[in-house]
Amino acid sequence: MAFNKDSVGGTLIAAFIICLVCGIVVSTAAVSLRPMQEENRVLDRQTNILVAAGLYEDGIDVPSVFSEVERQYVELGTATLVDASEVPDDYDQRTPSESTRLSDDEDIASVRNLPKWGEVYLVRDEQDNIETIVLPVQGYGLWSTMYGFLSLEGDANTIAGLVFYDHGETPGLGAEIENKSWQALWEGKKLLSESGDLNFEVIKGNVDDRTPNKDNKVDGLSGATLTSKGVSNMVRFWAGDKAYGPYLDSIRESGN
């Protein structure tokens, strides 16, 4: 029997064939592009870590420079370093295979689930002393979870930089966390007060000479109070006792 392309059955068969061919093309493209996408994801992550560490310059060979950065794993909430062989090769701190549910009182950054292991990136000088510590951080702002890297100087107290690589905050307001001028205000600020308490805060308004404990404070983002508070809570959480705090304390006590 001749195939009638104008019949209902013929139309359905033609649509099925087109969908099948398109599906095969899309699937093939997705599979073939996956290695390139993964390579770009890794390169973007390495670039952001180098930016946070102050090592990035236009035109550099990112993988080559990044290879000089030491990567460690620490059991969060402790100062215990974890052998890299114990951590899965594809470990992603954003979506960990093992985590602990945080209580509402503990979870000031709205992390919800605390990863078992935390990544740490170290830059050392020629004498093998730690120059810079880079920590992955995340916390909820107004509309989204903000993901970034916080870098500290070798004293594990002085902030060297902060970069964000993923968020969904409001353009022109909360999204100003990406503003280089605002990020520059962080440089040289301290996590700890003179008494040793974790006292860092992004305040509402501007920091000036009359601001108490001004070395522990950064200007808030104009019109983005909840995002500013989210960033403040994010830093306090990840630098605190539940996360990297004990590890940072061990570096301070060792004198680097």
- Give pTM, 2 decimals: 0.84
Q: What is the pLDDT of residue 5?
A: 55
Q: Mind listing the pLDDT tens digit for each residue in 46-73?
A: 999 999 999 999 999 999 999 999 999 9
188/207 Cα distance (integer angstroms)? 14
Higher pLDDT among residues 18 and 73, named by residue: 73
Q: What is the pLDDT of residue 186?
A: 95
Whether the per-residue pLDDT at 136 is higher than 80: the answer is yes
Mean pLDDT of 157-161: 96
Q: Which of 2-11, 65-74, 164-173 bottoms out in mean pLDDT, i.e. has the lowest? A: 2-11
What residues have CB less than 8 Å from 73, skipping those under 6 apart?
A: 81, 82, 83, 84, 86, 87, 117, 118, 119, 120
171/174 Cα distance (integer angstroms)? 7
Q: Which of 31-35, 104-108, 129-133, 244-248 bottoms out in mean pLDDT, i.e. has the lowest? A: 31-35
156/154 Cα distance (integer angstroms)? 5
Q: What is the pLDDT of residue 28?
A: 67
Q: What is the pLDDT of residue 113?
A: 93
Average pLDDT, rounded, for the chain: 88
What are 75's strand-pairing partners? 117
Q: Which of 33-42, 113-122, 212-221 bottoms out in mean pLDDT, i.e. has the lowest? A: 33-42
Q: What percent of the chain has pLDDT over 70?
A: 90
Q: What is the pLDDT of residue 42?
A: 84
Q: What is the pLDDT of residue 104?
A: 92
Alpha helix segments (H runs only) across the chain: 8-53, 62-66, 180-184, 225-238, 245-254
Whether the per-residue pLDDT at 12 is higher than 80: the answer is no
Mean pLDDT of 157-162: 96
Mean pLDDT of 166-175: 82
Q: Measured at the alpha carbon of residue 234, what is the angle toward residues 228 and 237, in degrees to the nearest 5? A: 140
